[in-house]
Structure 1
Amino acid sequence: MNITEENPLQPLACNSFSLIIGVICGSITQIKPLLNDINTLRLLSYLQNIEVHILANGEKRSDVDKVATLIFAQKNSPIAVTYGTEQTKVLSIGQARSQIQKCVGKKMLDFTHCYAWILDDDMRIPNEAHAYLTWLPAFKKNKIDVLVGNFNGGSPNPPAHGIRVQLNDLIHNLKWLNGLQENQILPNRERENERFRLTYPDYYYDLSRKHDEHLGMPYWITPECEGESVLEAKHRVIKNVFKILTGEPFLRPLIVPISKNPLLDSKPSCNRGGNTFILNSEALLKTPNAILLTNGEENRRSDMIWAIINRYYHSLTIQSVSFPVYHHRFVNVKAKFNLHKTVSEIRGAALYAAMIHYFESNPLNKWHNLPSNGDIISIAYAEYVERRLLQYSENFSVITQQLKIIESEYLSAHPSINSAMKEIKTWVSKENFNTIASMVNNADNNIDIVGFIASLNTQIDAFCK
């Protein structure tokens, strides 16, 4: 599959190497397309060996093996498949990540020239990967230890974190389309969209800390095919409105251009997600996904804490790079607003922001004095939580007003979107916000940020054994 219309990145001449791909499988339906994509990598001459290590977490290992065996059944295939320990219960995401990373790290030691690729099971590998994988040895030669890749397609954030910008697009696009002749060819405003993406990198995200000007600006619907009429485009918009609830990209897809010179354009980052390249096995073998617990429940963003530990404790070099995979959202999954995940996301994001601020705000702040400065992290954490709750409050208020505009101006002409609008209305209700705020505040009375920070060295030492 292609994710860009034009691929400026050229393959780089490199010596052959082995590639280990680690995936946590929570759903056979989700992982099957990814395994099919991995199977296409067997044709790449520079890949000496390919090994896929799967941790079945929510699916039976035997069922996953049946699917993988059918996909990788070709004769002389360089692809081997191994599995993590059979789970008697579903692991939390942080526990699963620590387990699979330790296994993949050990496997890297079996090969002389080897890199690892840790992927979420709902990712798709684009054709462009055939070129950008050839750049991994060059990054290794430049003493880069970890590369944080990015995404095209669906945002890695929860669907609820993109509702405001997409309703904004729905209103602007319907108003624009209604002002055109239905039988005329849809004008192509992709140049405007491209400038918008370059100016506001978080253009798809309601809760950006980088900027907020993008929230009220439109992202225009562009022709699906040559000669598409205004009426056809309008029907397409209405038909796909429900995707706002599932997080599948439609009105405002995530599009990341691939750099012509990745080495030059890569930047330091700990903002790790479900697309990570490991060039140094120590990043996997010496670093756990440290988990902040609240009343025994795991908070999110442990992968980013993993990156912080690698960068500031182990002094490894971690760079973000424009090597995207396609985030394949599944629209057949019933959309719902998960309050517990929302609260977990708020706390995890606040902890990550507080720790990053601690290290980046003062070059004198080093890891060795972190345990004694847990109170500074704790204060910053509380400030980021409060800031995020204010963002939620404002977001819910604006979305409520957007729904009123849609109801008064567009619902009678397009009654089929009513069910989606009703569902969104329940998501952003005052009751939901009050519940989120109450859950966050009640949990934070029982959360020990100082204790968590003080425990990190012990967690790291235990993981290394």
Structure 2
Amino acid sequence: MQTYNCNSFSLIIGVICGSTTQVEPLLNDINNLIKLPYLIDIEVHILANGEKCKDINSLLKSIFNVSESLKFRVHESGQNSILPIGQARSKLQKLVGTRMKNKESSYAWILDDDMRIPDRASAYLTWLPAFKDKGVDVLVGNFNGSSPNPPAHGIRVQLNDVIHNLKWLNSLPDDTKLLNREHENKQFRLKYSDYYYDLSRKHREHLEIPYWIVPEYEGETVGNAKQRIIKNVGKILTGEPFLRPLDVSVSENPLEDSEPSCNRGGNTFILTAEALTNTPNAIMLTNGEENRRSDMIWAVINKYYHNFTIHSISFPVYHHRYVNVSPSFSLSKTISEIRGSALYAAMLSFFQSHQKPSWEQLKNNGSNVSKLYFRYINNRLKLYKDNFKEINLQLDIIESEYISDEKGFNNVINSLRDWISEENFEKIKAPVIESSNSIDIVEFVKSLDYQIESFNE
């Protein structure tokens, strides 16, 4: 993409750090940004949430040469234990937003600690002032590499790829040069935007279509490609899609390509400070525990309470989930994800059902939001049940037709059997149904004004 001829500005970057090992590559990338001629300076604000401040400070000092052009500060989470993610985000955002207010010509970039900044960022960052001039307050970026969703939400599509690719490769001589089918993959990506996601509400056809392995180097043979699949199949457990990675292009016409969205994730550009200082990551508690997706509820509040303009844009960062990750299937996170996704979908659907949506309508119609919430809960559980069934059928095919001499391959298949079991589905379903019957969505909706006002005090 081309750069935009922008005026110089300051960039304030906010990151929650749960692991110095995880955040180190991102900090190295940030250090490289100081070379960009249009940046007046860079401030990096790290919220220590799972790591000691002194360890993060030591890492920062080993990477950054502190000067007028680059400064950093590490902030305590405020308590000995790790803050839940919603509270941690609210704390970091208040800190970064306050710095924006006190610093002229500044924009903020909120990043998860497992992101990498690509070289292309040097071009797309120049467009931030243009979006501000256009009246946009928040830009939601996207990802390359691994999906931001839990690993379990991409098992089905990846097993589909394993089956189809092994079937194709087994039909060819091992010494044959591997055909590059990237043009088919590209068409697939363009047609199905959620091609990497098992539980998409946008489309379902992508679940049955394969994503083809492409040569890793010129002249790679079929036999080598087959071994590459077998050796890398374990990455399914960590969420690194070695066969079906996220691959999005940087927008060539950003001002024309951006679209309204509240689908916020770990790559967000803030052009108006009040979007951070005036808006919490509102939390719905279930049995004293936070539900996930508070970042998306944050976006809903900014759009419909504060009337800020939020757009999505193809300014990607690279998500490197495979760093410092051990395979696990977290039942608690899965349950929290279902609840949080249902709440976000219910609130968004409520506003989108009105020709002229307003916050007052939400406050007076909590019962309608509640009905939508339960509908989405049931829909989500049905998707999970269907997905578990199909994944087990895929595992049957692999075990009967593609047994490998590679011990690691068979161990992965066994681990997936354990993850995607009927017992685990019931462990997910029972607390979701039980808690859904006791959650008062109406009271949560009523509490939002209080949560917002308290955050502003």
Match for residue 258 of structure 1?
A: 250
Distance in 2 between residues matched to 1:332 and 1:64, nearest whole Å: 16
* Identity rate, percent: 62
Secondary structure in 1 matching 2:186: helix
Q: Give the Cα separation in 2 of the matches to 1:208 and 1:262.
A: 26
Aligned position for 2:40: 48
Which stretch has the larger CA shift, 382-391 or 446-455? 446-455
Q: Structure 1 residue 110: deviation in Å?
A: 2.1
Counterpart of 1:26, as a letter, is: G
* 2:70 is the counterpart of 1:79: yes
Indicate conservation of the 8 Å contact 1:299/1:348, yes or no: yes
Q: CA offset at residue 83 of structure 1?
A: 2.1
Counterpart contact for 1:42–1:77, Cα < 8 Å: no
CA RMSD, aligned part only?
Answer: 1.1
| Counterpart in the other structure of 2:16 | 24
The Cα of 1:329 is off from its aligned counterpart by 1.0
Match of 1:290 in 2: 282
SS in 2 for 1:273: coil
Q: Does 1:114 align with 2:106?
A: yes
Post-superposition offset of 1:112: 1.3
Residue number in structure 2 paired with 1:204: 196
Q: 1:11 Cα shift?
A: 1.0
Question: Match for 2:292: what amino acid?
Answer: R
Q: Which amino acid aligns with 2:221?
A: S
Aligned partner of 2:208 among 216, 219, 231: 216
Question: Residues 250-288 of structure 1, C-alpha deviation per residue, up to 9 Å, x if partnerless?
Answer: 011011111110110000000000000000001001100
Q: Distance in 1 between the 2:360 and 2:74 partners? A: 37
Q: Which residue is equivalent to 2:447?
A: 455
Question: Secondary structure at the residue paired with 1:10?
Answer: coil
For 1:84, give the aligned amino acid.
H
- Asked whether 1:429 is paired with 2:424, we answer no
**Aligned counterpart in structure 2 of residue 441 of structure 1, from 433, 437, 453:** 433
Match of 1:94 in 2: 86
Contact 1:243 1:331 in 2 (8 A): no
Q: How many Å apart are 1:84 and its aligned residue?
A: 1.9
Residue 339 of structure 2 corresponds to residue 309 of structure 1: no
Choose 203-212 or 177-186, whichever is displaced more: 177-186
Q: CA deviation at 1:198?
A: 0.3
Q: Does 1:59 align with 2:40?
A: no
Deviations 1:303-348 (A, max 9, x none): 0000000000100000000000000112552211100000000000
Matching residue's letter, 1:320: S
Could you report, residue by residue, the CA deviation over 1:99-121 in whole angstroms, capped at 9, with x for unpaired residues?
00000000002221000000000
| Corresponding letter in the other structure for 2:75 | G
Secondary structure in 2 matching 1:277: strand
Q: Closer, same or farther in 2 for the Cα pair 1:249/1:412, shift >3 Å? A: closer
Query: Could you say which residue in structure 2 is the equivalent of 1:235?
Result: 227
Q: Provide the residue aligned with 2:358 in structure 1.
A: 366
- Counterparts of residues 42-191 of structure 1 (less than 5 Å): 42-73=34-65, 76=67, 78-87=69-78, 88-191=80-183
- Which of the residues 408, 420, 428 maps onto 2:412? 420
Deviation for aligned residue 1:222? 0.3
Task: Give the Cα separation in 2 of the matches to 1:420 and 1:163.
Answer: 12
Q: Deviations over 1:131-189 (max 9, x none)?
A: 00000000001010000000000000000000000000000000000011111110000
- Of residues 271, 276, 291, the one that matches 1:279 is 271
CA distance in 2, matches of 1:86, 1:238: 42
| SS of corresponding position for 2:152 | helix
Structure 1 stretches lacking a partner, 5+ long: 1-8
1:355 aligns to what SS in structure 2? helix
Provide the C-alpha distance between the structure 1 equivalents of 2:356 and 2:133, rounded to a whole number of angstroms: 29
Counterpart of 2:69 in structure 1: which amino acid?
P
Which amino acid is 1:81 matched to?
F
The alpha carbon displacement at 1:203 in A equals 0.2
Distance 2:363 2:354 in 1: 16
In the alignment of these two chains, the number of paired residues is 456
Q: Which amino acid aligns with 2:361?
A: N
